[in-house]
Amino acid sequence: MGKVSGRGGREPVAVDVTRAGHSAKERAYRHTKAAILDGSLPGGDLISEGQVAEVLAMSRTPVREAFLRLEAEGLLRLFPKRGALVVPVSPAEVEAVLEARELVEGHAVAKLCAAGEAERAAVVARLRDVLAEQRDASAAGNEQAFAEGDRSFHTVLVESAGNPILSELYASLRDRQLRMNLGSLLGHGPGRAEEILGQHEAILAALGPDRTSEAHGRLSEHLEATRTAVLGR
Amino acid sequence: MGKVSGRGGREPVAVDVTRAGHSAKERAYRHTKAAILDGSLPGGDLISEGQVAEVLAMSRTPVREAFLRLEAEGLLRLFPKRGALVVPVSPAEVEAVLEARELVEGHAVAKLCAAGEAERAAVVARLRDVLAEQRDASAAGNEQAFAEGDRSFHTVLVESAGNPILSELYASLRDRQLRMNLGSLLGHGPGRAEEILGQHEAILAALGPDRTSEAHGRLSEHLEATRTAVLGR
DNA sequence: CGAGATCGGGATGCATACAAGATGCATCAA
DNA sequence: TTGATGCATCTTGTATGCATCCCGATCTCG
């Protein structure tokens, strides 16, 4: 294991566990995706395989595959012989993403409400843990950790439904929304964090048998707040 | 897939693979996808880029990209340095697909019930057209046309919600389910076709304001029938 | 006889080469 | 001045070569 390739020095060989992070394709994918999500590559930009390949010191081949994958995720749009367009975030897309989110999360919530006592308790426990972490992050003023906690909360919720297809879709939705939050999540003050925490708690508190519609309502309120926050109000 | 506008409707398929003029990548994609969906490549098979490339008389590069795309759609699973596994259809996947379908279609139905009179009437008119075609196909014993009509019916329904993300997901779900229907849709007699037509009519008839739960119920019944049919009962 | 080393075939991962489409601009004719 | 045309250049599409990796069959040794 850990053979140094014949060409020039590569990165240090780390543990070879399932963490497939050091294939060129993966690096190209992560790099480009990160650049799109954090706003380094603004929507509307036209980028080329060659650019990225040069920056990452690799050939166009892995970059090409990364682009293809990003197109499937809806972050890039490939134009034949012209280049790759960083899909701009439109209000319509914001709406579509939030609608899909509400649909998927609402389904998970409903399923959870209808689930057996034991299973629901287990999920609720995990949600409480995440919520506690998020509360700590908020208190510490750690925006990054807070955002991750937010993602975890919703992800745990969705995955409790046990449907891989919906989970995967949801992950993609979150990624897309990340781009939209750029100016809004960071721009709003600490009051926003408190609001989010409160809404998460409300959802959590409403999880229970025969309370489906209540839980769904709380979720809708939460996403509605997100909507107004993202749309810049 | 299949744009309804533009080129003529009933066309002898089976040519689109050999049709030059499309890119090699596209040909590789269609060829492989068709082979998976129609059962020529059974689930569990391990195929290689080289095989397909040789059959289609092209290099591995476009085939590689087609494989990547098919993996994103959940039809292939790529193993590093090993090959591409045609994902076998498991009961769990059937369940996941049907659950997701019900979620998306149910959402569309609910939205349609809540929509304005004019818009709903327009969609209903289109659905009636499709249903009529499907009825004709059934009467003519044209399995192929009947299946296409079925697909159209549900697709029109979903697209009426106006959410591209959900529409795209739905298309992918239909593709996956196509594989599951191989032995079931064709195996069942004409009684099944009548049943499907009746359920489509029932859904159509239940579309209206304040009838959301009724329409949803009809839809659930329809999908439940599909479930038992697909699962071999 | 069994367990580990070894070797060969097959497949992928990536780099590189080449061809062709698309675009913008300078040039030229009317 | 204006519009058409040809060219330089950028970018992708595809082919091909090589290195690497994985797996199974065989061989060797205890």
Asked if A98 and B167 count as a contact pair (C-beta separation under 8 A), the reply is no
Residues A212 and A125 grouped into a single domain = yes
Residues A117 and A222 grouped into a single domain = yes
Q: Which two tokens stand for residue A45?
A: 């930009």
Residues of A in contact with B97 (CB under 8 A): 165
Asked if B180 and B230 count as a contact pair (C-beta separation under 8 A), the reply is yes
Q: Which two tokens stand for residue B65?
A: 């990209």
Q: Is B38 domain-assigned?
A: yes
Q: Tell me which residue range forms the domain holding A102.
A: 91-230
Q: Is B181 domain-assigned?
A: yes
Among the three residues B61, B86, B111, which one is the final residue of a domain in this structure?
A: B86
**What are the φ/ψ torsions at residue A79 (nearest 5 degrees)?**
-110, 125
Q: Is A18 domain-assigned?
A: no
Among the three residues B33, B53, B86, which one is the final residue of a domain in this structure?
A: B86
Q: Is B30 domain-assigned?
A: yes
Q: Is B6 domain-assigned?
A: no
Residues A120 and A208 grouped into a single domain = yes
Residues B74 and B166 grouped into a single domain = no
Residues A131 and A77 grouped into a single domain = no
Among candidate residues A57, A33, A4, the one with its CA nearest the CA of residue A47: A33
Q: Is A166 domain-assigned?
A: yes
User: CATH number of the domain that B171 lies in?
Assistant: 1.20.120.530
> Could you list the mean pLDDT of each consecutive 10-residue stretch along chain B, which spans 233 residues?
31 35 90 95 94 96 98 96 94 94 97 94 96 93 89 97 98 92 62 90 93 94 90 69
Among candidate residues B72, B94, B96, B93, the one with its CA nearest the CA of residue B84: B72
Nucleotides of C under 7 A from a protein CB: 10-17, 20-23
pTM of this structure: 0.88
A141: left (phi over 0), alpha (psi -120 to 50) or beta: left
Residues B44 and B96 grouped into a single domain = no
User: Residues B10-52: pLDDT tens digits?
Assistant: 323 333 333 445 899 999 999 999 999 999 999 899 999 999 9
Residues B122 and B73 grouped into a single domain = no
User: Residues A20-51: pLDDT tens digits?
Assistant: 468 999 999 999 999 999 999 998 999 999 99
Q: Is B13 domain-assigned?
A: no
Among the three residues A86, A120, A138, which one is the final residue of a domain in this structure?
A: A86
User: CATH number of the domain that A59 lies in?
Assistant: 1.10.10.10
Residues B169 and B206 grouped into a single domain = yes
Residues A50 and A132 grouped into a single domain = no
Residues B148 and B79 grouped into a single domain = no
Q: Which of A23, A68, A107 sits opposite B103 (nearest CB)?
A: A107
- State how far the Cα of A108 lies from the Cα of A126, in Å rounded to an integer: 15
Domain total in chain B: 2
Which own/partner pairs from B36-39 qualify as long-range (CB within 8 Å, at least 24 positions apart)?
A: B36/B70, B36/B75, B36/B76, B36/B86, B36/B179, B37/B75, B37/B175, B37/B178, B37/B179, B38/B182, B39/B179, B39/B182
For the CA atoms of A191, A195, A201, A203, what is the dihedral angle to 10 degrees? -170
- Give kind and range of the element (H or E) at residue B47: strand B46-47
Measured at the CA of A73, the angle between CA A24 and CA A112, to 5 degrees, comes to 115
Asked whether residue B77's C-beta has any atom of DNA/RNA strand C within 7 A, the reply is: no
- State how far the Cα of A132 lies from the Cα of B63, in Å rounded to an integer: 48
Q: Is A10 domain-assigned?
A: no
What proportion of chain A, given as a percentage, has pLDDT over 90?
73
Chain A closest-CA separation from residue B45 CA (Å) = 22
